[in-house]
Amino acid sequence: MKPLGPVPAGYAALDGELAIAGRTASALVAEGGGTPLFVYSADLIRDRVALLRAHLPAAVRLHYAVKANPFPPLLALMRTLVDGFDLASAGELDLALAAGQAPAAMSFAGPGKRDAELERAIRCGVTLNLESAGEARRALAIAERTGIRPRLAIRVNPAFELRGSGMKMGGGAKPFGVDEALVPALAREVIGAGAEWRGLHVFAGSQALDAGAIAETQGAVLALAARLTQEIGHPLPHLNMGGGFGIPYFHGDRPLDLAAVGAALAERVANLPAELAGTELAVELGRYLVGEAGVYLTRIVDRKQSAGHTFLITDGGLHHVLAASGNFGTVVRRNYPVAIATRFGADAEEEVSVVGCLCTPIDRIADQAPLPHAQVGDLVAVFSTGAYGASASPAAFLAHGRAGEMLV
């Protein structure tokens, strides 16, 4: 038997079923037009933002990484809660504009930006986080051709990484950002060409649960930014410090000690280097804002025995929740938080594997998991799927189609 991950706080039972925003899973599925269905709780998102505001220094701005979940109603909500959006494509730019976000509150990072994307960002007035010298020169050429002064920042590839992070985005050879030693010269070139200098973006890693590691990295980011600012010779208007705040997915994971992160950052903000005295600071968060607010609901369509083992076969699968299946960067497959939504809170009665509808053995939602007895027609809930779920999974695989999505 393999343990399940922890169900996030904020979920309860109503009439024996999982309830989200005061409505049962069955009612939400009926309203959403059937399964599979992602349900995102607006209240849990608001609560998470409020928690961050309470613990982080007031001077630190809060940005949402749109790549975590670009569902349009969710973006419209996030626009009212955070201070800015961080984008990774022109498609996300279009979604952010449609959600009503002001271009001046957006920044656009990511390697491999095409000229059309650079031009669109420049024309809209979005800050470009430059990933290379070549990208910087293409952006400057476009600006000269269009006669528009571009808003340019540099994404830094730091020599350090976020210790214990799930995905390491800094340190060593990386396709992301400009190596820190090369930043000052490139920044002076950009400023000398007449661009509006918007500062630095440093993202060292993601999905860390160790408050000490996050605090250590934030200190290193501030020190690096101060040193680079001195070498550049111009004030630093804005510093995106990245994020990296993780959420518990697996058995044994413990929630991030946000109070400890906030206290350490508050102390550093109160004692900033002179070079950063006038710098606007921001953290960039995605999954920490929306991950635990999302639940994937899928219906059991078959129950079968094979070689003495029970399989619950659902109408969903890895084409919607790739990460929960263990196929999104996980080295050793472990079970996400999973429950029988129509028997929420009931005691485990059997060991079963919950699998999807795809013709591949890697389509597993829960492997040898302890669950209440479930039958055809029951709903399965996969928690912590509000980030890197619907938009990060191969929905076209085997042509089963996309899952529904709703914000409640």
Return the closest-CA partner of residue 39 out of 292, 391, 286, 296: 296
Please report which confidence band the pLDDT of residue 172 belongs to, taking 50, 70 and 90 as the band edges.
Answer: low
Q: Which amino acid is at 53?
A: R
163: pLDDT strictly greater than 60: no
Cα distance between residue 408 and residue 398, in whole Å: 30
Q: Among 3.20.20.10, 3.40.50.740, 3.10.20.30, 3.40.50.800, what is the CATH number of 70-285?
A: 3.20.20.10
Q: Which CATH superfamily is domain 12-40+292-407 in?
A: Lyase, Ornithine Decarboxylase; Chain A, domain 1 (2.40.37.10)
Domain ranges in the chain with CATH number 3.20.20.10: 70-285
158: pLDDT strictly greater than 60: yes
Please report which confidence band the pLDDT of residue 162 belongs to, taking 50, 70 and 90 as the band edges.
Answer: low
Residue 175 confidence (pLDDT): 67
193: pLDDT strictly greater than 70: yes
DSSP 332-401: S--PPPEEEGGGTTPPP-EEEEEE-SSSSTT-EEEEEEEE----TT-EEEEES-SSSSGGGS-TTGGG--
Cα distance between residue 388 and residue 291, in whole Å: 8
Domain ranges in the chain with CATH number 2.40.37.10: 12-40+292-407
Residue bearing the bigger pLDDT, 338 or 205: 338
Return the closest-CA partner of residue 149 out of 201, 104, 203, 194: 194
Query: Residues 355-389: pLDDT tens digits?
Result: 999 999 999 999 999 999 999 999 999 999 999 99
Where would I find the beta strands (DSSP E) of 66-150?
A: 84-87, 106-108, 127-130
Q: Tell me how crowded residue 338 is: count the other CB atoms within 10 A of its CB.
A: 22
Cα distance between residue 263 and residue 55, in whole Å: 7
Residue 79 confidence (pLDDT): 98
167: pLDDT strictly greater than 60: no
Query: Residues 239-284: pLDDT tens digits?
Result: 999 999 999 999 999 999 999 999 999 999 999 999 999 999 999 9
Residue 169 confidence (pLDDT): 52
> Do strands 167-168 and 205-206 pair parallel, antiparallel, or not at all (unpaired)?
antiparallel
What is the overall mean pLDDT for the chain? 95
350: pLDDT strictly greater than 60: yes
Q: Is 267 left (phi over 0), alpha (psi -120 to 50) or beta?
A: alpha
53: pLDDT strictly greater than 90: yes
> Do strands 151-157 and 196-202 pair parallel, antiparallel, or not at all (unpaired)?
parallel
Mean pLDDT of 78-107: 98
Cα distance between residue 353 and residue 299, in whole Å: 14
pTM of the full predicted structure?
Answer: 0.95
171 contacts 126 by C-beta, under 8 angstroms:
no
Task: Calculate what percentage of the chain has a pLDDT beyond 90.
Answer: 92
Query: Residues 199-227: pLDDT tens digits?
Result: 999 988 888 999 999 999 999 999 999 99
Residue 328 confidence (pLDDT): 85
Which residues 6+ apart lie within 8 Å of 261 measured at CB? 55, 56, 211, 214, 215, 218, 245
168: pLDDT strictly greater than 60: no
- What 3-state DSSP class applies to 37? strand
Mean pLDDT of 171-190: 86
Mean pLDDT of 391-401: 95
